[in-house]
Structure 1
């Protein structure tokens, strides 16, 4: 019974987050009516979502968090979900060649798994991810330089794109600010989106790693159509109904 209750709470919070991200804001009382629960229940859900860094509480409801965020802020958000995603993603690591990791904190959770994949070359446009990769034994870490995006700490711009396209990758592991079944993945920064396109153009396989809080939402800059994505990884079971809108476009893990 407790497990069923937990699942319902997770689904309710995902629904709340989707509404807030889509509308930009939501009123507590209206959420309670729409979801068929008490205002007290919604208030607890909003408090929990704020504690995870997924929205901001305001008087009478909540507003969406917009704009790029520093890596340190993003790393603490939905940490358990990122670990589940990383556990799935590590099964896709090749035994040789090169892979690319974007500047996301979600993909950063994959770094510890590289210790068991000696011989790989791993490229990223994130100094934080580069530092984590470099600590792995017998891994060649490559930092894609360029202009530093001050609000995210990642490297972007023409130099970053040119460097990203100078190698051939077995797989590109990337995340997104938001994912929508109709519009695909999107970012809060056009510059971030451009570097991801550069990595993808040189990759045999594109793997999109996002936690469920990113689903059913859009950001500013379009990045990948879901038909371009070879595999979508979330912390959810692939059979979860929340993924129904996505399974017709791409493979799920």
Structure 2
């Protein structure tokens, strides 16, 4: 394989997954990690990927960019599914659970249909649609689950945010919050593309006894416009095994507990 063909294969792998580790790229292409590192460095110099410790990320969008819900559903599907499964297992029966907007939290919400007696508070239109009756099978009547949808301004990701959402969350208390993230940065914390979304996420966190963040490895070192929550306020962060070892150490030192799901 010519060098340019190999770099095209590296680029395709990074773009398809959102992130790739040097060790995986080297194994897939039958080259040394040093060669894979040089290929990533070349692609990064051309602005085609973002180089990070131990691998590469798909190019970062502008800090205010927010893809639509349908577009995000096609990204990092295996990782998000594994994360959703691990996060849903942390929600006990009979609890009040907050579920923020996001495609990974939406996947987790689908698994919550099997958890009896939940009261769900959400600012996500897709999550409310999913849990308010759509997809319920025999033996799971709606009476066993209550869904509270806050109001607010609708974003491209079908979240409801802003002052109306914040006021609706004031005075509410949930046992567990499943919180999605636009970006995760060791210094900036959890970030969002808009000030209103950051404000709403902070209101969700204030309502929760336990904060569980769902963030796949492609979100690492992505910084949106506004910081919503510092990592030190996160009780559990659930990510996938695409997160490099150094990033795991740095994140694990800041959050209460780091859970790495096998994707």
Q: Does residue 82 of structure 2 align to residue 88 of structure 1?
A: no
Corresponding residue number in structure 2 for 1:142: 148
Q: Does residue 15 of structure 2 align to residue 50 of structure 1?
A: yes
SS class of match (1:203): coil
Distance in 1 separating the partners of 2:90 and 2:229: 20
Q: Verify the 8 A CA contact 2:217 2:242 in the aligned structure 1.
A: no
Distance in 1 separating the partners of 2:226 and 2:160: 17
Aligned residue runs from structure 1 range 181-192, under 5 A: 181-192=186-197
SS class of match (1:99): strand
- Pick closer, same or farther for the CA change 1:244–1:42 going to 2, 3 Å: farther
SS class of match (2:213): strand
SS class of match (1:182): coil
Q: Which stretches of structure 1, 4 residues or longer, exceed 6 Å deviation after superposition? A: none
Choose 136-145 or 92-101, whichever is displaced more: 136-145
Corresponding residue number in structure 1 for 2:237: 232
Distance in 1 separating the partners of 2:11 and 2:72: 18
Q: Verify the 8 A CA contact 2:82 2:240 in the aligned structure 1.
A: yes
Q: 1:156 offset after TM fit, Å?
A: 1.0
SS class of match (1:159): helix
Corresponding residue number in structure 1 for 2:39: none
Aligned residues: 213
Corresponding residue number in structure 1 for 2:37: none
Aligned residue runs from structure 1 range 213-224, under 5 A: 213-224=218-229
Distance in 1 separating the partners of 2:213 and 2:104: 10
With normalisation by structure 1, the TM-score equals 0.76
Q: Verify the 8 A CA contact 1:114 1:139 in the aligned structure 2.
A: no
Q: 1:231 offset after TM fit, Å?
A: 0.7
Gaps in structure 1 of 5+ consecutive residues: 1-37
Distance in 2 separating the partners of 1:220 and 1:238: 23
Distance in 2 separating the partners of 1:158 and 1:186: 18
With normalisation by structure 2, the TM-score equals 0.74
Distance in 1 separating the partners of 2:117 and 2:194: 33
Q: Verify the 8 A CA contact 2:99 2:109 in the aligned structure 1.
A: no
Q: 1:212 offset after TM fit, Å?
A: 0.5
Distance in 1 separating the partners of 2:235 and 2:80: 19
SS class of match (2:98): strand
Q: Verify the 8 A CA contact 1:124 1:130 in the aligned structure 2.
A: yes
Q: 1:117 offset after TM fit, Å?
A: 1.4
Distance in 2 separating the partners of 1:102 and 1:126: 6
Q: Does residue 214 of structure 2 align to residue 209 of structure 1?
A: yes
SS class of match (1:113): helix
Distance in 2 separating the partners of 1:145 and 1:193: 16
Distance in 1 separating the partners of 2:61 and 2:125: 24
What RMSD over aligned residues (CA atoms) do the two structures have, in Å? 2.5
Distance in 2 separating the partners of 1:133 and 1:49: 34
Distance in 2 separating the partners of 1:104 and 1:236: 20
- Pick closer, same or farther for the CA change 1:225–1:124 going to 2, 3 Å: same
Aligned pair partner of 1:157 in 156, 162, 166: 162
Distance in 2 separating the partners of 1:158 and 1:170: 23
- Pick closer, same or farther for the CA change 1:239–1:170 going to 2, 3 Å: farther
